[in-house]
Structure 1
Amino acid sequence: MIYTHFCGSWGHYTCLSWLPTYFSEELNLNLTEAAWVSILPPLASVFVTSVASQFADNLISNGTEITKVRKICQSIAFLAPAICMTLSSVDLGLEPWEVVGILTGGLALSSFALSGLYCTHQDMSPEYASILLGITNTVGAVPGIIGVALTGFVLDSTHSWSISLFAPSIFFYLTGTIVWLSFASSKPQNFSKADR
């Protein structure tokens, strides 16, 4: 859970910080356009969040094991932005607004994590869910410090958005998916000393 939270935060924080500059410098949108399109992924996420929650609830109510539901949702949350970032970083001759649409869709689908990773804390231990989330979220905050600065450093060194912004995010999304699919479990845990 800790590594998965770190991976998701890497993509989230670096894109939150650098997409306006990417839209302006790489896609040649003027500053006003870049500012407006930068708000599209969070707005689209509001819609996707309600879809993701209904999707997960329907799977659970139809008898799908909770761990499997969490794995499906988290895989969507990581693989969708990884695919969209890959499409955005290769030269397909796309128009700027098509790239904006692809990135918006991918980043919006990352909201499936709310029905994946973020529900797993509660699944594992309703009593200690807040502590578990506090632990994973503390590590998840590190990319907001390191990832954002490192992206800027690599961008200055390489002048490549693909290498500085997209490649690290894709790497963390893919490895996070592998780790999540390999080890994640929603099996309830008992952390009480009295019951050990």
Structure 2
Amino acid sequence: MVKGEQPFSFKTPLSWPQFLPEEKPKSSSSSEVDASLKDVPWKAFFQSKAVWAMIYAHFCGSWGHYTCLSWLPTYLSEELNLNLTEAAGVSVFPPLASIFVTTIAAQLADSLITKGVEITVVRKICQTIAFLSPATCMILSSVDFGFPHWEVVAILTGGLALSSFALSGLYCTHQDISPEYASILLGITNTFGAVPGIVGVALTGYLLDWTHSWSISLFAPSIFFYLTGTIVWLAFASSKPQTFIKED
């Protein structure tokens, strides 16, 4: 090694000479993160009926969302006899329609709150629309009423699009009840909401192989969860601010 040269070896990246003292970024230690998590009132969350209502509603909504997202193209192709190009094109209708529904739902919710309607009532109205609309449309699609195929497509598109009312229902409630812990509450409910993406999609395929019925495999479970989710939401959901206190 030439005299005067420094070895390219430093204990940490922050000790590199190109970092001036005032330029060195701050690092958060794992102990600080652990300490902050210990301060979260986890037990109080799971003792709240409103939180459990959010958990179940998130689970129910995700069941219909994930199963339809995964199986709708196959349903359109096999049950409605659409070709691959048509099925692929039709599958984008619900998300496109959801863009407009989301805007309408937000304006409706804000308008009701501005007029003095209790926030809990507004959230219950929006979430009820988000659940009963797809449930009704799935019932109409699963029972043979003799509708032409494109009418069934329109019915399903409308129902799935109206489920976006949940963005002014369930998904606002975390912030309503606890701005301080809204992100953690959303993480909790979203964890339960992710389960149907694994279990629901697989179960739909299993039931389809076993029953050879789209009504039983795809629609019946979603209808069940939409209806029971509505009941639980109307009974226990609340947007009243709650104080979650950590118990020692």
Tell me the TM-score normalized by structure 2: 0.77
- Structure 2 residues without counterparts, runs of 5 or longer: 1-53
Task: Please report how far the alpha carbon of residue 127 of structure 1 lies from its aligned counterpart in structure 2 after TM superposition.
Answer: 1.1
Alignment of 1:69-88 (within 5 A): 69-88=122-141
Alignment of 1:1-196 (within 5 A): 1-193=54-246
C-alpha separation between the residues in 1 aligned to 2:243 and 2:98? 34
Task: Please report how far the alpha carbon of residue 193 of structure 1 lies from its aligned counterpart in structure 2 after TM superposition.
Answer: 4.3
Task: Please report how far the alpha carbon of residue 192 of structure 1 lies from its aligned counterpart in structure 2 after TM superposition.
Answer: 4.7
C-alpha separation between the residues in 1 aligned to 2:121 and 2:78? 41
- Structure 1 residues without counterparts, runs of 5 or longer: none
What secondary structure is seen at the aligned counterpart in 2 of 1:167?
helix
Task: Please report how far the alpha carbon of residue 23 of structure 1 lies from its aligned counterpart in structure 2 after TM superposition.
Answer: 0.3
Task: Please report how far the alpha carbon of residue 191 of structure 1 lies from its aligned counterpart in structure 2 after TM superposition.
Answer: 2.2
- Please tell me whether Structure 1 or Structure 2 has the larger radius of gyration of its CA atoms: 2
Task: Please report how far the alpha carbon of residue 74 of structure 1 lies from its aligned counterpart in structure 2 after TM superposition.
Answer: 0.2
1:125-159 Cα shifts (integer Å, max 9, x gaps): 11110000000000000000000000000000000
- Of stretches 185-194 and 94-103 in structure 1, the one that deviates more from structure 2 is 185-194
What secondary structure is seen at the aligned counterpart in 1 of 2:103?
helix
Structure number with the higher helix fraction is 1
Q: Percent identity?
A: 82
C-alpha separation between the residues in 2 aligned to 1:127 and 1:51? 28
Runs of 4+ in structure 1 off by over 6 angstroms are none
Q: Highest relative contact order (Cα 8 Å, sep 6+), 1 or 2?
A: 1
C-alpha separation between the residues in 2 aligned to 1:107 and 1:40? 9
What secondary structure is seen at the aligned counterpart in 2 of 1:141?
helix
C-alpha separation between the residues in 2 aligned to 1:152 and 1:42? 23
1:40-66 Cα shifts (integer Å, max 9, x gaps): 000000110000000000000000000
C-alpha separation between the residues in 1 aligned to 2:207 and 2:246? 47
1:60-103 Cα shifts (integer Å, max 9, x gaps): 00000000000000000000000000000011111111000000
Tell me the TM-score normalized by structure 1: 0.98
Q: How many residues align?
A: 195
Task: Please report how far the alpha carbon of residue 189 of structure 1 lies from its aligned counterpart in structure 2 after TM superposition.
Answer: 1.1
